[in-house]
């Protein structure tokens, strides 16, 4: 006698929901970054007249970026300090180097994450997202670079930068040797240290003055 055929089990269709739609901001709730484009620092410093070198530089920022970074506005009370800051930034972050622009921005964010610098995490987190084309990498750099699936080169670079930030007295030959093993040259090691030092200084100035980033950074390269 033939066995009765098994009844086919019905399968319920499952609807996979996408990401929830962005909710409207509750009425009366202020913007978390409200005022960041007007009250740039907590110090009442009168802006100086832009120097012949800085006037076209500000105009170039406005043309290329659509805004002047607030850090430049913050330094605008003293043209000598502003010009020194711009020269150092341009040399460390934009000049030819064995480190790519993305790698230098990754250092900026890893250092700023350790120091919890609001300004630099927002501004340079946006730069990492834009230069890498990977918004998740930008978020990981801000939160905890150790959670990112980084190359050996990048992990060694950031480990060194953060150790130099947190325990500069503890940096030894073995730390430099780790960078060499990851493929960095002697000049590259100098550049890693220089970028690290620059952002430790910048983080402290930004935190001491409650420097606020341009609000446009928050939505960039998402």
Question: Under a CB-based contact definition with an 8 Å cutoff, are residues 199 and 113 in contact?
Answer: no
Average pLDDT over residues 187-216: 98
Q: Could you tell me which residue, 39 or 26, shows the higher pLDDT?
A: 39
Q: Could you tell me which residue, 3 or 186, shows the higher pLDDT?
A: 186
- pLDDT, residue 165, reads 98
Average pLDDT over residues 39-50: 96
Question: Under a CB-based contact definition with an 8 Å cutoff, are residues 143 and 128 in contact?
Answer: no
The answer to whether the predicted template modeling score (pTM) of the entire model surpasses 0.85 is yes
- pLDDT, residue 172, reads 98
Say whether 212 sits in a helix, a strand or coil: coil
Residue 5 has pLDDT above 70, yes or no: no
Q: Could you tell me which residue, 23 or 26, shows the higher pLDDT?
A: 26
Q: Going by C-beta distance under 8 Å and a sequence separation of 6 or more, which residues neighbour residue 145?
A: 106, 109, 110, 113, 158, 162
Output the average pLDDT for the chain: 91
Quick: pLDDT tens for 99-121: 999 999 999 999 999 999 999 99
CATH superfamily for domain 50-95: AhpD-like (1.20.5.810)
In the chain, domain spans? 50-95, 99-219
Tokens of 89: 């930034």
Asked if 50-95 and 99-219 have one fold, the answer is: no
User: CA angle 80-82-88, nearest 5°?
Assistant: 100
Domain 99-219 matching CATH 1.20.1290.10: the answer reads yes
- pLDDT, residue 17, reads 58
Residue 10 pLDDT class (50, 70, 90 cuts):
very low
């Amino acid at each position: 006698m033939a066995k009765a055929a098994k009844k086919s089990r019905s399968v319920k269709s499952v609807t996979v929901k996408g990401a929830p739609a962005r909710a409207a901001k509750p009425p009366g709730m202020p913007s978390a970054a409200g005022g960041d484009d007007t009250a740039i620092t907590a110090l009442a410093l009168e802006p100086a007249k832009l120097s012949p070198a800085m006037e076209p530089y500000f105009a170039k920022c406005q043309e290329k970026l659509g805004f002047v970074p607030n850090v430049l506005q913050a330094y605008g009370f003293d043209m000598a300090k502003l010009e020194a800051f711009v020269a150092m930034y341009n040399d460390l972050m934009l000049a030819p180097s064995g480190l790519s622009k993305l790698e230098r921005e990754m250092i900026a964010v890893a250092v700023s994450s350790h120091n919890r610098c609001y300004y630099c995490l927002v501004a340079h987190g946006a730069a990492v997202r834009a230069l890498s084309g990977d918004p998740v990498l930008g978020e990981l750099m801000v939160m905890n670079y150790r959670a990112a699936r980084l190359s050996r080169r990048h992990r060694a670079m950031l480990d060194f930068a953060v150790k130099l930030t947190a325990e500069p007295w503890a940096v030894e030959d073995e730390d430099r040797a780790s960078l060499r093993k990851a493929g960095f040259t002697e000049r590259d090691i100098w550049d890693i240290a220089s970028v690290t030092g620059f952002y430790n200084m910048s983080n402290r100035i930004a935190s001491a003055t409650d420097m606020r980033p341009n609000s446009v950074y928050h939505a960039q390269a998402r």
